[in-house]
Each structure stands twice: as structure tokens, then as C-alpha cells.
Chains A and B, each alone.
Chain A
């Protein structure tokens, strides 16, 4: 069977529109079909990824017979392929985790799975597309699905969080559209490879204006300070699996597009230093805010923002080793934060107030979930032998090689803050006195399985990082090879 990158967009989109029809046939199909679709996509991503790594050539899909730069093209290189594989893998685990979501009531589950398929379509589309306007369209698909998923629960303050997200998000998309308009008026093309080729003809002032508009527009999805006001509310008000999807899919797509703009499209002097500064501010402010949170999900959200700041710093250092570290950290963040949000949701279920202080003693009542949470907490602060240790080590080594000593100091101080607030939760879980013996919600079988897989990944990668480093290394090489990207895309042009 012929597999192609276009399946990542076509299949989940088709499934999203078929779900209401399938619901007429059988209620169970609504839950099974998304899993089949995402499972298929995971298999496709593995097949394509092996092909790309073996041949060393990216797969460039020309859509509708219009060769680039006239038509839209999809680029499945080692870099984009790595992110797509990560996203589909995480989406599959989210599906297993949320298989029994709203089991009592099928109508909301149907809406949830439709929106979830749209979210998968949008975020893989952002990563795969080679056309800047197409990226905007996928960004909007992701955003609309994300707004609706944030407002999913009627009884929480979801609508308020969603409106806040929508206000910031649609403002960002307006700025991004303006950036695309100005860029088109300057270079006369929308193909990212051709933009990269022609960007040096744009006057400096215009180039900086367009770049700023792009960074503000994309920085919102990437949770960059000061554009991340939506994140704590959206994470804390949305259903549990959606928080995982935000951390593993939406934010990854946002960071990807920011990196694509900085590394491939523009050649602005000082853009890397700008990323470092913004990343450092984001990281420090987010981690300090996380320290004073009393609500568990808000704390995890701020920690997620902090990690994204860390990723931006690593990309900003810009050397091959640092980009390698940044991609490794993106992988780790998806896996570990996924585990933390999945287990954290069960902790929150069993604490009606959602406050950390009321979680005392849950470690004895829900041993499995608390163990997974503790494992995730130990991994994300970067203790060996877990996978979080390696990414932090690689980034610190890259910072040392590039002689950013102040940056290393900041990263290490922030790590101490991280340890304080994660260990505070763990201390309450295991050494606090239980207030009551009622267990409201035991984890489902699917939930335990998904968390178990993530925990295994964390430990296996921690002991033996070579399982992924090969892929990440070729992803980092591909990202930094700007000329290769331009050549690979534009060689298909047949005038």
C-alpha cells in the first residue's frame, strides 16, 4: 500500500466528519474509529520516518499536481517527521487514556472525539506544510478545535477560559495574517523555501516588522512570555486529556512554526539572541509563578510554559548540539508532561477543591496514580536515571560550549525552583494525613495502560537514550540545513 504524508491531514479530517454518521450506526464506533485512525497514522509515520532516515532524502508531497512554488507542498523531512511521529504517538496514548471518556453520556463524547481529530489534523498539518498561508489555515483549525475543547465542560469556568484564549488567539491570527500580507507584497510568494531564497531582497525595516508580527502571532501558541496568559486558564478548565493534547500537540506545533520562521525563513541578525532573551524571561517568570500556585493544574501549566521557555533558549543558542538538546527536550516534555497531566487529572478528580493542600495522603489511596505522578515529577526536574536528565545535560553542555555561563546559572537556579514545587506536591501526596477515605474516581484500565507506556518510555530512554538520539540527531541536522531544505523543495519545480 502506498503511504504518503498527505494521509496525516486527509484521514483524520475525514474521520472527524464521519463520526456523526458513524454514531448513527453504533455508539461504540465513535470511540473505536479515532483510535484506528491515529493508530494508522502512527504506523505511517514510522514507515515514512524509516524511509527518510535510510535514504537521507526528505519526502516532498506535491498536492493537486501543482509543483512548488505554485501549489501547496508537504515536507516530511527528518525534522518534521520526528515531530509528527511524536505527535501521533502521543495522540494515540491520549486516545487510549480517554477511551472511556464520558462513558455514561455519548453525545459529549462524540463532540470530544470530533474536536480531537480536528486538533490532530491541525497540529500535524502545521508541521508538515511547506506553504506559509497553509500554515495559517492549519493554525486556525487547531485554534478553533482548542477553543471549543477548552469550553467543553459546562459546569466549570471553561467558557471564560476559552473566551480569553479566543481573544488572544484571534488577535494573534490577525497579526499573522498581516505578516503574511506584508511578506507577500515584498517577495511575491507564499512557499517557505522560496521565501527563504528571496528574503535578502526585502529592506531591513520591513523585514524586522514582518518578523515581529510573526513572532507575536506564533509566540501565543508557543506559550512565549508575555503572550501566554491563556495557558494556565485553558489547562486548568479543560478536560484532563485535553491538557495532555495541548502540551503534546498544540504547543509543539507552535514552537515548530516559530523555529521554522527563525531558522529557515528569515536571516535576521540577532534573532537567536532574541529567542534566548525571550526564552529566559518566559522560563524565570513561569517557574516563579508555578511556585506560588495552589491549584495543581495551574501549577502544571506554568511548569509547561517554563519548559517551553527552556526549549526556546536551547533553540536560541543555535549550535547543532543545542538544537539537538532542544528537540530532545521537546520529546521529553511531550512524554513527561503527558504523564504528569494524565496522573494529575486523577489526583484532581479525587480532590474536589483542586488545591494542592487538600491532596494530603492520596499516595496511600491511589498508589498507582501517585507513583506515576512522582515518576513524572522526578523526570521533569531532570534527575537521573530518567529521560529528563539527558535533555537538560545536553542543553547545559551546549550552553557551556557556546560560553553562555549566565544562562547556565539561570537554568540551574530555575531547576531548583522546579524541584521545590514538585517535591512539595510529592511530600503532600505521600506524607500528608488523609482527610477522608473516599476514592471518587479510580483510574480506568486505558488510563493505567497509557500512563504505564509513558512511564516505561521515560525509564527506558533514561537508561538507554540511544533509542532516540539517532532520530533526534538527524532531525537537528535537517533543521539547520537551510540550503538543503530550499533545494529539496524547489528542485521539483517544473516550469
Chain B
């Protein structure tokens, strides 16, 4: 099978996006340490962000900026990549950051309350 550079790249990018999501899922579902679960959630987010960026990419596209240089490229038959996924991923990264911060502060609170950060040893409420 003959693959050119672009095909290898796209398989690599999509593959690593799905790989990241699966690694994150593994961490969330299997790991018992609260911090590792939070890390797993961040990895899932990173995978989805990568997938989103990959979907918005157009082969050979340039940065989507309205500037004299950008207009010249488009006038000469060039293309720009889709700017919407990039804007959305930027927003999603900020949201992910906020959720991670809240999650870690809860982990600290749980650790102080129970003197442990292992999820199988914290069971005042029914899990």
C-alpha cells in the first residue's frame, strides 16, 4: 500500500486523537487515585481537541487571518483552514482548565477530610 506524506500524517493525527481519548477513558475507569482520574479527564479533553483541530484542517491551507498577505494567498488560488474549530477549541481548553481546577480543589478537600486520596477508601456516600 502506497501512502504519501499527507495520508500518513492524517492517520497519525486521527489515530493519536482516538488513542488519547482511550487512554483517558482507561485512567478514569481503572485508576483508583483521585488525581489520576482528574488527569484522565484532561487527557480525554485533549484527545477531543486534537480531533476537532484535525477536522478543521484543509490540506495545504494557510492560517485564517484576514491580512494583505492572507488575501494574496487566497487570490492566487490558495486556501485557508477552517477557523471555527480553532476558536471553539480555544474556548474548550479554557473550560477544561476551569473544570480541572475545581476538580483538584475537591481532591484536596477530600484528602484533608479522609486522609487518603484513594477512591476505594472514600465511601461515606454510596458510590
Contacts and interface: CB of A to CB of B under 8 A. Distances in A.
A292 interface: no
B125 A181 contact: no
Contacts of A178: 21, 48, 51
Contact of A163 (B44, B91, B98, B110): B110
A172 B92 CA distance: 14
A11 B98 CA distance: 22
B109 A154 contact: yes
B93 to A, nearest CB: 11
A164 B113 contact: no
Contacts of B37: 167
Contacts of A163: 34, 103, 106-107, 110
Nearest to B123: A160
B99 A171 contact: no
Nearest to B99: A170
Nearest to A229: B127
A163 B118 CA distance: 13
Contact of A147 (B48, B88, B102): B102
Count class of interface residues, chain B: 20 to 34
A159 B113 contact: yes
B121 to A, nearest CB: 12
A185 B55 contact: yes
A164 B37 CA distance: 11
Interface string B89-127: 001100100110011001101100100000000101101
Contact of B85 (A159, A162, A184): A184
18 contacts: A144-B99, A147-B102, A154-B109, A157-B113, A157-B125, A160-B122, A162-B106, A163-B107, A163-B110, A173-B95, A174-B41, A174-B48, A177-B52, A180-B88, A181-B48, A181-B51, A190-B84, A190-B88
Interface of A: 133, 137, 140, 143-144, 147-148, 151, 154, 157, 159-164, 166-167, 170-171, 173-174, 177-178, 180-181, 184-185, 190, 233, 237
